[in-house]
Structure 1
Amino acid sequence: MNAPEAFVRHLAENNYHPRSDAHSNAICLAIVDDLLAHCPAFAERARAGEIVAKLNHTVKVNYMDWNI
């Protein structure tokens, strides 16, 4: 699994800013990369378009909008 190392590298190169979503985007992408590399079932479904990764997706819960 490379996600921890990729995230540490991201922080070392870009620093941490508490009001930025860059760090959460970086760890999410690193986790998706690990899943694609190490889970054949996940990778196959992603290739088939059954699994799609999307950053900063807005979800409506009752009357509230949540950006996840």
Structure 2
Amino acid sequence: MTAYIIDTNADTDRLPLDGDRETAAAWFEANLPGDEVEELREALITAAVRLTGEDRELLASNGYKITED
């Protein structure tokens, strides 16, 4: 079973949550561009890679849903 993250605020592709920081960074940079949100984007990237309970809450509170299939 694979876990994915979905941006509930936009119609975007799913990000497989496999712990790969480079893939997560590219996905978040494409879906959340701009220098004004750089700190938030970095926090979300870190959360997607670590995926602890607190990380899941941070992602959910910013409009991201974690699904499994």
Coarse TM-score class (shorter-chain normalised): 0.3 to 0.5
TM-score by length of 1: 0.37
Higher strand share: 2
Larger Rg: 1
TM-score by length of 2: 0.36
